[in-house]
Structure formats: C-alpha cells, structure tokens
C-alpha cells in the first residue's frame, strides 16, 4: 500500500489557500516525520514558488519520504526534448515524476482539440523520454472514470500505452468528482483484471464520497492512494488522506503508519490547518474537536461506563480525546465529568451536581448556551462552592453613545462602571470605538490597579445571535465572546433582551474566569 500526498499541489487549488515556500517545506517535513512515503511538491515550471521549493527541498534531509514533481505531457505536435514542462520536470531533480494526461476521448477532442492518436503519442513520448533519464513515472489518467464510461476501449488504451512506454504506476482519476463508490469499485476491478501494473486512485469530493470511493478502489485492486490532508482541494476538495489512513488502518487492518505516528494524525491535521490559515473543522471525522464529543446526558453517562458505547474507536489511537458538552440535553454525568476535569469532585457532592444541572437547563431555557462557552460553565461550577468569593462584583454601569458634530461623523462611545474590588468601590469611565469596547475598556481600567495582569488580555471574537426571531427588535440576544492571552483562548456567554447587558455578562465572565483560573 502506497500513500501519496498532494496537499502542496492539489490542496492549494482550493480557493483561499496560498502557501509560501517556507510553508510548503514545513508541511513536507511534517508529512515526512509522520511517515507519508510520497509527497507531491508542486507543479514543476508553473510558477517561481514551486521552482524555488524543488531547489530548496533537495538540501533538506528527509527521513523517508520521496518528493514527486507534477507536470503534464508534452504539448500537442511538439517535440518532447524541447518541451518546457518536461524540461522543468527534469530540472526539479526529483526521483519520481507524476505525469498527467487525458484518458477521456471527449476531453481529448473537445478540450485539447487534437486527435486521439496524438494524445497517445503525447503520453508515450513523454513517459519514454523521462524513463530514459532514470525517472520513476506515475501516470495520472485524468478524467479516467468519465472517459471509461463514454469510451472504455480508448481509456484502457491510454493506460496500456502508458504502461508500454514505462509507467510504473497508473492512477485512475475521478477528476470531476462525480463518481459514486460502487461505480469506482466496478471500474477499478475491471482495470485490475485487464492490465498488469500498479493501479492508483485519485478522487475528488464533489459527491461527498471521495474517501469512500478511494477505499472502494483499494478493495478492488488499487494499491496507490492519493489524497490531501483535511481534504483540501479545488471545488469541494479532494479525498481526505487523514480519513483514508484512519479507515485503512483501524477498520481494514492495513498498516499505513506506525502506531506512534497514527496517534499523531490529529496533530498533523491541526498543523496543516494552521499552516494554510484555516480553522480546524470541528466535525471532521476522527480528528475534529467534536468527533468524540457527547452532548446528550445518556451518551455521556454511557461513555463514562464503557468507552465504546457511543464511539466507534478509542480516540487516543489517532491523538484525539473524548469530551462532553454542557447544554439543556446534559445529565448529571456530563456535569460530573466536567467537575472532575476541574479537580472539584471532592468539593461538590451529588446534590450540588444536580443543582448545577437544573441551573444549566434553566439558563439554556432562557437563551444561554454553554456548549461552546466552557469558561462560563466553569464559573457556574465555581459559584456553587460554599466558599467562593468573586474577584469583583458589579454595582452599576452606564453606556453613552452620542453623535456630535465634532466627532467627524463618528459616534462617541463612553462607558462608566462601578464595581466592588477587594472591599473597595471603584468608579471609573473610559471611551471606546463602540459601546462594547468602551465597556470592556472601563472594566479593565477599574480592575487593573488590583489585577495588573489583565492588560495582557485581548478580545479575539464577538458574536451576537437573536434567540427568538419572531420577537423582532424585542428579542433576547445571546452574546458569545472569545478572549485570549499569550497562551490560551477561552469563551464566555451572556444573554438578555438588552445587548449591552448580554455583552456585560460575557465580558465580566471572561475577566472573572481569567482571574480565578489563571
């Protein structure tokens, strides 16, 4: 079984993803370190960035991975020895070259606008030229499945031509991503019974079945599987190599990675997400933050007793973990688990846990949501302790928003807060570029003399959601806030018919959590 990663080429074709040379090298090193054997570095000769990558990667000592350069066959009616792409492929100095060519008669005639015979010559000339220069050649048969359905004889002839002139592997590509697993399996099995060569599979996710199709192809004879980390790629993306690895190894018993490296799949997924500047998708199978998160009280209770009761694998196998959320569906098990995580299980008994469950359900009935506001939930638990003393208490706040002529059209926002801090009343005011910012500035100003460390905090996200849309402007709103320091990020929530009061709840929870837990 061969795993072939094309994140650095196919993955970067997804809208919004752009990698620097440094990014590409860091991802290469991560893939190599975790045990991916083949890494497609980029499209040789297509841009200066990929050319620079191939130049630099030669000087980096990889543990085991082989770098592959990608490019297309020679130009129509051109000479292979002077073709710029062929020259660029050789200049990359990679041991392996992945060559793409058309395997659909319609694509040849309508897109390339050449004859079926010339397309075969383009493939044979290019592969033979590269093989004569001691390169291993992987031939990507573009549009293979669509081509086979329309004209199976020609698509098979394309593969046979590639093999005849030296291709080491022929990859069946579902370029449009329109195939379903059953059809991929059927055609791959026919090909495996027809030709004598290693068969690969390359699927796109336009029917949301790319991973399933890749697994189906493997079960029908394909032993070379291409994909991208997190499924990045053009349109709907490519087959997610992370899910492919997990399925092959944990479901089919195929050793793709060492046990230790398999447990780093979540780490790999998050690393690539961060490098491409995309937030990790929390619902991604296996490695998503919520992949093993339980909301229902029954589920949480069952997993406490028997880890596999509502989980298909032990998440630690791929570096993930079980979690429970706190919501109106929570039971005592959810709360007890969170209490244990906070190290408070010796201070709160069953009666307190039941009271917390009731409180959470009542609060969520009012519009609060603790599912993603764990800091607010942790404060709820703390406040049920008999000896809890808050670091500050609100007495009053006032927010003014004015539109004065001297403000050059900008609204002037000023907030005044009165809080009790360490048995003293602090009354202060501050301006901001909006009412919430002014309120936050005033609160920090009031607290900083007693708690100077809060100056390191920054508000990183602020969301407002209407709870009951039918109430129009009288509806309650839920405000969710994300705050960060130089090490951690935490989320809090507030809810009220008054957006400023809801904002205050979330803001004060954020600061209170920081002062208590940090």
Residues 6+ apart with CB under 8 A from 161: 120, 123, 124
pLDDT at position 146 is: 97
Q: 257, 277, 306 — which closes off a domain?
A: 257
| Cross-strand partners of 365 | none
Can you say how many angstroms the Cα of residue 476 is from the centroid of all Cα atoms in its chain? 33
Residue 336 lies in a domain: yes
Token pair recorded at residue 345: 């299980």
Strand partners, 68: 40, 96
Task: Determine the pLDDT at residue 209.
Answer: 98
pLDDT at 358: 79
pLDDT score at 308:
55
Q: Average pLDDT over the chain, rounded to whole? A: 88
Strand partners, 72: 100
For residues 123 and 163, membership in a common domain is answered with yes
The answer to whether residue 295 scores a pLDDT higher than 80 is no
What pLDDT does residue 294 have?
66
Number of neighbouring beta carbons within 10 Å of residue 308 = 10
Q: How many domains does the chain have?
A: 3
Beta bridge pairs of residue 220? none
* Pairing between β-strand 458-466 and β-strand 477-484 as defined by DSSP bridges: antiparallel
What's the pLDDT at 352? 75
* Cα–Cα distance, 331 to 228 (Å, whole number): 39
- Nearest 5°: the CA angle 363, 364, 366 is 65
Q: With cut-offs at 50, 70 and 90, classify the pLDDT of residue 461.
A: confident
- Looking at residue 517, its pLDDT comes to 83
Q: Smallest Cα–Cα separation from 142: which of 113, 173, 184?
A: 173
What's the whole-number mean pLDDT along residues 122-135? 98
* Pair 355, 492: CB distance under 8 Å: no
pLDDT of residue 203: 98
Which pLDDT score, from 0 to 100, does residue 384 have? 83
Q: What pLDDT was estimated at residue 391?
A: 92
Whether residue 187 is contained in a domain is answered as yes
Q: Is the pLDDT of residue 56 over 80?
A: yes
Q: Supply the pLDDT for residue 281.
A: 84
Task: Give the C-alpha separation, 141 to 148, whole Å.
Answer: 11
- Cβ neighbours of residue 408 closer than 8 Å, sequence gap 6 or more: none
**Residue that is last in its domain, among 324, 345, 365:** 365
pLDDT in tens, 312-364: 888 889 988 776 555 544 555 666 666 676 666 665 667 777 787 778 778 87
Residue with tokens 């596999």: 308
> Under a CB-based contact definition with an 8 Å cutoff, are residues 85 and 45 in contact?
yes
Q: In this structure, are residues 469 and 481 in contact, taking their beta carbons and an 8 Å threshold?
A: no
Residue 355 domain-assigned? yes
Range of the domain at 140: 2-257
Over range 287-313, report the average pLDDT: 64
The CB-side HSE value for 348 (13 A sphere, CA atoms) comes to 25
Using CA atoms, how far apart are residues 277 and 271, in angstroms rounded to an integer?
10
Q: To 5 degrees, how large is the angle CA 312–CA 315–CA 320?
A: 145
Are 200 and 227 in contact by the 8 Å Cβ rule? The answer is no
A 10 A CB-CB count for 414 gives: 18
- Does residue 217 share a domain with residue 135? yes
Same domain, 358 and 212: no
Please give the Cα distance from 316 to 273 (Å, whole number): 20
Give the pLDDT of residue 432: 87
Provide mean pLDDT across the span 188-199. Answer: 97
Query: What predicted TM-score, i.e. pTM, was given to this entire model?
Result: 0.71
Query: Do both 354 and 400 map to the same domain?
Result: no
Beta-carbon count within 10 A of 254 CB: 13
Q: Does 398 share its domain with 332?
A: no
406 and 322 in a single domain? The answer is no
| DSSP summary character for residue 73 | P
Domain match, 360 and 447 both: no
Upper half-sphere CA count for residue 94 (Cβ side, 13 Å): 33
- Confirm whether 218 is domain-assigned: yes
475-511 residue pLDDT tens = 788 898 888 887 778 889 999 989 899 999 999 999 9
- Picking from 198-212, 271-285, 440-454, which range would have the lowest pLDDT averaged per residue? 271-285
Q: Is 307's pLDDT higher than 60?
A: no
pLDDT of 227 over the 50 cut: yes
Q: Is residue 12 located within the same domain as residue 99?
A: yes
Task: Give the domain-ending residue among 346, 365, 384.
Answer: 365
Residue 304 has pLDDT above 80, yes or no: no
pLDDT of residue 186: 98
What is the structure's pLDDT at 125? 98
In a domain, 278, yes or no: no
Measuring CA to CA, which residue among 439, 443, 427 is closest to residue 400?
439
pLDDT confidence bin for 300, thresholds 50/70/90: very low
491/426 same-domain check: yes
pLDDT of residue 409: 58
Q: What is the CATH number of the domain that holds 207?
A: 3.20.20.70
pLDDT tens digit string along 95-115?
A: 999 999 999 999 999 999 999
The answer to whether residue 141 is domain-embedded is yes
Note the pLDDT tens digit of each residue in 357-386.
778 778 877 888 776 788 888 888 888 887
In this structure, is residue 303 part of a structural domain?
yes
Radius of gyration of the chain, Cα coordinates, nearest whole angstrom: 29
Tell me the percentage of the chain whose pLDDT exceeds 70: 88
With 60 as the cut, is the pLDDT of residue 249 above it?
yes
Strand partners, 70: 43, 98
229 φ/ψ angles, rounded to the nearest 5 degrees: -65, 130
pLDDT tens column, 67-92: 999 999 999 999 999 999 999 999 99
pLDDT at 297 over 50: no
Question: Do 142 and 245 reside in the same domain of the chain?
Answer: yes
Domain match, 18 and 161 both:
yes
Res 395 pLDDT > 80 = yes
Q: Say which CATH number the domain at 401 has.
A: 3.30.160.270
CA dihedral angle for residue 341, residue 344, residue 345, residue 350, rounded to 10 degrees: -120
Q: Is residue 271 a part of any domain in this protein?
A: no
- Torsion angles phi and psi, residue 9, rounded to 5: -120, -65
Same domain for 235 and 301, yes or no, is no
Beta bridge partners of 415: 399, 430
How do beta strands 96-102 and 66-72 pair? parallel
Strands, DSSP E only, in 58-162?
A: 66-72, 96-102, 136-142
Contacts of 344 (CB under 8 A, 6+ apart): 381, 382, 385
List, in sequence order, every residue forming a beta bridge with 495; answer none if it has no partner. Answer: 478
Strand-pair category, 136-142 with 198-203: unpaired
Query: What is the secondary structure of 290-340 as a DSSP string?
Result: TTTEE-SHHHHHHHHH-TTSS-SS-GGGGT---EE--STT--HHHHHHHHH
């Amino acid at each position: 079984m061969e795993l072939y990663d094309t994140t650095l080429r196919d993955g970067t074709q997804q809208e919004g993803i752009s990698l620097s040379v440094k990014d590409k090298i860091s991802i290469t090193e991560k893939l190599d370190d975790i045990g991916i054997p083949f890494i497609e570095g980029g499209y040789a000769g297509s841009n200066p960035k990929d050319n620079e990558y191939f130049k630099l990667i030669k000087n980096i000592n990889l543990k085991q991975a082989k770098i592959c350069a990608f490019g297309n066959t020679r130009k129509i009616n051109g000479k292979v020895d002077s073709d710029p792409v062929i020259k660029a492929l050789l200049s990359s100095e990679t041991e392996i070259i992945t060559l793409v060519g058309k395997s659909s008669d319609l694509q040849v005639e309508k897109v390339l606008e050449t004859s079926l015979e010339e397309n075969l010559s383009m493939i044979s000339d290019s592969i033979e030229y590269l093989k004569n220069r001691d390169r291993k050649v992987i031939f990507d048969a573009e549009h293979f499945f669509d081509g086979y359905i329309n004209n199976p004889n020609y698509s098979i002839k394309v593969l046979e031509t590639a093999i005849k002139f030296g291709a080491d592997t022929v990859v069946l590509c579902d370029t449009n991503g329109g195939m379903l697993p059953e059809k991929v399996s059927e055609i791959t099995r026919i090909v495996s019974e027809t030709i004598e060569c290693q068969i690969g599979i390359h699927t796109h996710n336009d029917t949301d079945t790319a991973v399933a199709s890749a697994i189906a192809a493997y079960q029908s004879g394909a032993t070379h599987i291409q994909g991208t980390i997190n499924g990045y790629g053009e349109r709907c993306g490519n087959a997610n190599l992370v899910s492919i690895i997990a399925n092959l190894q944990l479901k089919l018993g195929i050793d793709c990675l060492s046990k230790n490296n398999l447990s780093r799949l979540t780490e790999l997924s998050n690393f690539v997400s961060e490098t491409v500047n995309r937030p990790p998708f929390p619902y991604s199978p296996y490695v998503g933050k919520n992949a093993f998160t339980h909301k229902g009280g029954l589920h949480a209770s069952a997993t406490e007793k028997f880890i596999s009761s509502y989980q298909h694998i032990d998440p630690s196998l791929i570096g993930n973990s079980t979690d429970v959320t706190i919501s109106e569906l929570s039971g005592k098990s959810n709360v007890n688990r969170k209490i244990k995580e906070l190290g408070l299980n010796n201070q709160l008994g069953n009666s307190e846990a039941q009271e917390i469950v009731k409180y959470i359900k009542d609060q969520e009935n009012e519009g609060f949501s603790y599912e993603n506001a764990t800091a607010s939930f942790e404060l709820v638990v703390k406040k049920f302790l008999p000896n809890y003393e808050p670091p500050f208490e609100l007495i009053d706040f006032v927010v003014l928003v004015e539109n004065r002529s001297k403000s050059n059209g900008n609204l002037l926002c000023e907030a005044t807060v009165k809080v009790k801090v360490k048995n003293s009343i602090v009354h202060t005011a501050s301006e901001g570029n909006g009412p919430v910012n002014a309120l936050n500035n005033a609160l920090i100003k009031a607290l900083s003399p007693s708690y100077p460390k809060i100056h390191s905090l920054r508000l990183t996200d602020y969301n407002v959601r209407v709870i009951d849309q039918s109430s129009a402007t009288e509806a309650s709103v839920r405000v969710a806030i994300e705050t960060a320091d130089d090490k951690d990020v935490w989320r809090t929530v507030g809810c009220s018919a008054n957006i400023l009061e809801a904002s205050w709840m979330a803001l004060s929870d954020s600061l209170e959590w920081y002062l208590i837990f940090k």
